[in-house]
Structure 1
Amino acid sequence: MLRNLELKQKTIKGDVTERLPEMKPCSTVQPTCPEPEVKIITQPCNIIQPTTPQPTEITTVTQSYSTIPTTTPQPSEITMNDPCYKCEDGWKQHGENCYYFSTRKSSWDASRTVCRTQGGDLVKIDSSEEQSFLRTTIQQMTEGYEIYFWIGLTDSAEEGKWLWVDGSPLNERLTFWFFHEPDDWTDEDSDGEDCGRMGPAYWFDKSCKARERSICEKPVVAVCPHFSSGTTVRVEDTMSYFSKAIPFRIV
């Protein structure tokens, strides 16, 4: 019996030994399946933003209109030959002003009084061009002689502070004093020389009590009719003429 058991064991062992070569080792690595390839394709997208409808464009058109002044217009520049602006007889026109060269001698104050009674004042010189006009006129009148005319310049209120008759100060960049003038000389008058006078070319200071000729100045006179806004006028064919001055008749 034992013998039979031993034989069975040997037989079983032999079978096992024969089957072992047929068996393959097992891998502990689990089989993996290839992952599917995923491609991410990025494309630019136009994002449409919600828009608010814009209001219709409004264009503002601005037009300028010329208004007719209700007052008499003052010309910015008046020429010597403008027929609508005249000076009285004996006065010389230059631009917008009239000038009277008086040959009557009197003190500065008395000369100014005469000018004012005629609607003007002693001349105030505002430009080199005006000075040139006065100089030329004086030279033509005096034929080169040293003859002087009072002008509207004085420092009688405060020595050295020269003022025009309208109260405006003398522009130091626009003066035509002769060499070393004004000198306030006191030999003839202890009060000095506080009034301005003009010779054939330059200015000089002189005692206000001295007797000199004078130059008066006042605005030109408008001789042409002017009409305010709203006035209806008609040009009379029989009276009109082609010049700067055209007669009108209110209708």
Structure 2
Amino acid sequence: CEPGWELNQMNCYYFSTTKSSWNDSRRSCTDLGSDLVKIDSREEQAFLARRVGDIMENFWDRFWIGLTDSEEEGRWFWVDGSPLDKSLSFWDSLPDDWKGPKGTNPEGEDCAIMGTRGGSQNLKCWYDVFCSNSQKSVCKTINKSPFD
């Protein structure tokens, strides 16, 4: 992996501590030749939950993942266009698409963050939030270096 990235299995992860919206965070990942993380296994979720939990500074200090239902409410898709596999879903509580106080955000909560400070025992640490929120993020790419 490149300097500043972490290797797990065959993938490289970048834990960005710069806070920005989901779209801006995704752009930052693509500028680095990657994308917001797509979680493909329980083992990957365990690795990410542990690492994010270690980095978090407080309860709200969570990280964007590459999951959104902005195209159609309730249908969650990863950044690569694949639908969320219900057997690999780690919502802490079901996404509620909250519209904000008195409906001030009619779009609702369409983007996913993850994180439980200190790590999550049952791995359920995903939450839906407004895509415009400023959060940290996790980028993922395939490890291209054969020597790591």
The two structures have a TM-score, normalised by structure 2, of 0.88
Equivalent positions of 1:1-251 (< 5 A) are 87-142=1-56, 145-179=59-93, 181-187=94-100, 189-200=105-116, 201=120, 202-223=125-146
SS at match of 1:119: coil
Q: CA deviation at 1:147?
A: 1.6
Larger Rg, first or second structure (1 or 2): 1
Cα distance change on mapping 1:146 and 1:220 into 2, 3 Å: same
Gaps of 5+ in 1: 1-86, 225-244, 246-251
Q: Deviation digits for residues 26-69 of structure 1, max 9, x if unmatched? A: xxxxxxxxxxxxxxxxxxxxxxxxxxxxxxxxxxxxxxxxxxxx
SS at match of 1:139: helix
Gaps of 5+ in 2: none
Letter aligned with residue 212 of structure 1: Q
2:113, 2:21 → 1: CA distance?
A: 11
1:116, 1:204 → 2: CA distance?
A: 23
Q: CA deviation at 1:222?
A: 2.1
Cα distance change on mapping 1:160 and 1:145 into 2, 3 Å: closer
Q: Root-mean-square deviation (CA), in Å? A: 1.6
Q: Deviation digits for residues 195-225 of structure 1, max 9, x if unmatched? A: 111022400001111111100000112245x
Q: CA deviation at 1:187?
A: 1.3
SS at match of 1:173: helix
The two structures have a TM-score, normalised by structure 1, of 0.53
Q: CA deviation at 1:144?
A: 6.3
Identity of aligned residues (%): 50
Q: CA deviation at 1:176?
A: 0.3
Q: CA deviation at 1:141?
A: 1.4
Q: CA deviation at 1:190?
A: 1.8
Letter aligned with residue 98 of structure 2: W
SS at match of 1:101: strand
Q: Deviation digits for residues 6-40 of structure 1, max 9, x if unmatched? A: xxxxxxxxxxxxxxxxxxxxxxxxxxxxxxxxxxx
Q: Which has the higher strand share?
A: 2
> Larger relative contact order (C-alpha < 8 A, sep ≥ 6)?
2
2:109, 2:59 → 1: CA distance?
A: 22
SS at match of 1:132: helix
